[in-house]
Amino acid sequence: MALSNSVPPILVFDLDGTLAETAPDLVATLNMLLTREGFPAVPYETARGLVGGGARALIERGLAHCGGSLPAARVDEMFEEYLSYYDAHIADATTLFPGVSAALDRFDAAGWRFAVCTNKIEYSAVLLLEALGVANRFKAICGRNSFPISKPDGRALLMTIEKAGGRSDRAIMVGDSRTDIETAQNAKIPVVAVDFGYTEMPVEAYEPDRVISHFDDLWDAAESLAESNWSIAQAS
């Protein structure tokens, strides 16, 4: 992949369901809260499908699945309890998806830089990436509370790119959900979707620019997007 422009290209990743399989620890935290409230635990395969909208949404979805209802004030308390427990168990069973480290190595050797734009709380995102041993690979790790706005507002992605020292016309987003795809589209940045994350419908339905099933495929996807999008930008 020829990179003639002096500005380093940048890949901006979502975190949950994109870089890391976080569902085991997210679901374990949910079930701890539910059972403490007297509700049954949600089976993992079912609960994995509830992940993807943040901790508060996961709690609400878990309660709805159990046919339960709690006052809004109690749900607020559970949200804070969720964050505290989850941070203490953030990488008990969480792992990077296969091929992540090798992909980062290949892009790094080619001069790319990396950032994370997630709707996870920033502290939790940094904590998790540190626990997984890859936090130092990202020029910026930005979460739901890093800026006044968050995904799917495209400005969250643009501000992440700026914080990482990148440029929006030399950027590609990588995510797993409708939120990630819409964020990139709102920012007018090409987006690669992984098809193994947390999404209500197949990611193809949200019309990303490319879909991959393994991080081994990211290089070719990014190369084709760079050639088609950046050559147009440089010519205009």
The 10s digit of each residue's pLDDT in 142-191 is 999 999 999 999 999 999 999 999 999 999 999 999 999 999 999 999 99
**pLDDT score for 236:** 35
Tokens of 164: 């990482």
Give the pLDDT mean for 3-8. Answer: 67
Catalytic residue positions, numbered: 14
Q: Is the CB of residue 173 less than 8 Å from the CB of residue 12?
A: yes
Strand, coil or helix: 133: coil
Provide DSSP, 167-213: -GGGEEEEESSHHHHHHHHHHT--EEEESSS--SS-GGGG--SEEES
Other residues' Cβ atoms within 10 Å of the Cβ of residue 215: 22
Cis peptide before 208 (omega within 30 of 0): no
pLDDT at 1 over 60: no
Q: What φ, ψ does residue 123 adopt, rounded to 5°?
A: -60, -45
| Domains of the chain as residue ranges with CATH | 10-21+94-235 (3.40.50.1000), 23-88 (1.10.150.240)
**pLDDT score for 193:** 98
**pLDDT score for 5:** 58
> Distance (Å, rounded) from C-alpha 119 to C-alpha 88?
19
Q: Is the CB of residue 193 less than 8 Å from the CB of residue 181?
A: yes
**pLDDT score for 234:** 43
Q: Is the CB of residue 11 less than 8 Å from the CB of residue 189?
A: no
**pLDDT score for 16:** 96
Tokens of 182: 């819409």
| 49-63, 83-97, 138-152, 174-188: least confident range | 49-63
Instruction: State the chain's mean pLDDT as an integer.
Output: 93
**pLDDT score for 232:** 44
**For the chain, percent of residues with pLDDT exceeding 70:** 95
pLDDT at 231 over 60: no
